[in-house]
Amino acid sequence: MNLKLIILLFFCTFTTFSQQRNYDSITIEEIKIDSASIRAIHVLKDASLIFASSNGLIGSVSPISNELKIQKIVYDTIVPHFRSITSNGKCTYALSVENPALLYKYCNDNLNIVYKEEHPNVFYDAMAFFDEQNGIAMGDPTEDCLSVIITRDGGNSWKKLSCEVLPKTEDGEAAFAASNGNIAISGTNAWLVTGGKRARVFHTPDMGFTWKVYNTPIVEGGQMTGIFSVDFYDSKNGIIFGGDWSKKDKNTANKAITNDDGKTWKLIADGEGPGYKSCVQYVPNTNGKEIFAVGFTGISFSNDGGHSWKKVSSEAYYTIRFVNKNVAWLAGNNKVGKLILE
């Protein structure tokens, strides 16, 4: 190895190390929203936030002024309880949880219902788009598979997948509508996560045409155990987070990573770092190293891919989504927040 190469390797190593960020605390600009439990948020291309709440509110927040706009939704005397919201870049879609499940399309100040499902067990948990035309939403089983609905025409119509296409769920296996975080998207891949009696990852590589399911080491077997959130940095590397909602401080078997597109999972920081969290997200443009996990017990941060963690805030938030590596939106009970990393 010549001297020039040694110097170059040293420089690259030093540069990587010097760019590693660390925080003892974080800054959050909080915006109050009365009587609204908010678990469903989505960041638009212009960095603004859209959100949907438990009491039928759909709203937006400006990225510059933090100006708040809210619309109240009522359907035939029913005030929808929203846990899912997304956008395909043109229109906003919000999906209510319980019977009847109602999927609203909000576009150019027009509001329409584009999907309705009636069933005693219907309960939808999360929703996302692959691209402008193709979207997916998932919910608890009404038969012997997850409820998965797909759009292939930009959200104008949605169709529920047959259980003949999907892997079978097991008795007591469902999902948690904790943060609109049960779905992760990377390219044409989607990963859906479950909890309860089983904590598994359902994967489609082709936007819902074919599926496989994989076991995980996350705690399972109880009514409130399992995976509450998933995120993928790219098509290979991802993280799942959850735990036992009834034992929020328990920090064993509650977080794991994969580097083979979800086929196998390895526990990280087991018995260390945070316990139960409702949402986990990679920080963009940090090579999969920086991760935030939020929940009722506060906000935790990792700068080494999840192997070690630091609590950076005691503020309770249910969900988080990043605008870029320095700004994220959060939401919780009666509030949304803007996280600033400096």
| Stretch 272-289: mean pLDDT | 98
Query: Is the pLDDT assigned to residue 18 strictly greater than 80?
Result: no
- In three-state secondary structure terms, 334 is strand
Q: Provide the token pair at 195.
A: 């909890």
Largest CA distance in the chain: 76
Position 225 in a domain? yes
How far apart are the two ends of the chain, measured CA to CA in Å?
Answer: 39
**Number of domains within the chain:** 1
Query: Is the pLDDT assigned to residue 11 strictly greater than 70?
Result: no
Position 18 in a domain? no
Q: What is the pLDDT of residue 4?
A: 43
How far is CA 307 from each of CA 201, 241, 282, 304, rounded to the nearest angstrom?
21, 13, 13, 6
Position 3 in a domain? no
Q: What are phi and psi of 12, to 5 degrees?
A: -65, -45
| Stretch 88-96: mean pLDDT | 97
- In the chain, the percentage of residues whose pLDDT exceeds 90 is 91
Nearest Cα neighbor of 33 from 341, 330, 342 is: 330
Position 9 in a domain? no
Q: Provide the token pair at 302.
A: 């990792």
Q: What are phi and psi of 156, to 5 degrees?
A: -70, -35
Position 82 in a domain? yes
| Stretch 188-208: mean pLDDT | 98
**Cα 107 to Cα 109: distance, rounded to the nearest angstrom:** 5
Position 217 in a domain? yes
Position 96 in a domain? yes
The secondary structure of the chain in percent helix, strand, coil, rounded to multiples of 5, reads: 5, 45, 50
CATH code, 153: 2.130.10.10
Position 8 in a domain? no
| Stretch 22-46: mean pLDDT | 95
The Cα angle at residue 170 between residues 235 and 151, in degrees rounded to 5: 50
| Stretch 313-325: mean pLDDT | 97
| Total Cβ atoms within 10 A of residue 271 | 10
136-178: per-residue pLDDT in tens? Answer: 999 999 999 999 999 999 999 999 999 999 999 999 999 999 9
Domain assignment of residue 249, given as a range: 24-340
